[in-house]
Amino acid sequence: MFRDVGALTQGVGKVNPEAHAALSGLISEAADLLHVTKSAFVADAARQAAEKIVARSDVTLMSPAVFDTMMASLDVPDESPELAKLTLDRSLRGEKDHLWGAQLLREALEKIVASVDLGGGQIIVVGADNPGLIAWYSRQGFKSTGGQDLRLYLKVATARRYLDPK
């Protein structure tokens, strides 16, 4: 059943007695439906409202000029570390027990992520030496850049999760 209790909370001034009575009745009805006391219902509603307000207080407002400058800086490309050459001796390729290629890649990613921590970057780029390596790098989580070359990329955040699975 819809009741107009908005008059109680609109504006500043005296409380409309009819609206106050309607609101009090609505609160009592809602509390009864939840099988809680009216005080508990009001306290819970006040807590929820306070949590929303506090959560919104974390938002930082800035001037349009500062916002425009910040947004323009996003268009400037970051330096991206590149895994230029990762070579495994042919006799070790495809070895299932030790997974030498995956171990070598892991070692390279550890070094790259450590360098990103010092110098920045969002993605790791790798140039596959031949089309056959694209499938292998894809299985390791790399994605195609969409170009005609043999370049693939991996987000640094993805590399971190790969290196530290929890």
- What angle in degrees, to the nearest 10, is found between the helix axes of 156-163 and 100-119? 120
DSSP for residue 129: S
- The architecture of the domain spanning 78-163 is 3-Layer(aba) Sandwich (3.40)
Residue of 11 and 39 predicted with greater confidence: 39
CA 86 – CA 38 distance, rounded (Å): 69
CA 159 – CA 109 distance, rounded (Å): 7
| pLDDT tens per residue across span 44-82 | 988 988 888 777 766 666 677 777 777 776 655 556 777
Residue extents of the structural domains in the chain: 6-56, 78-163
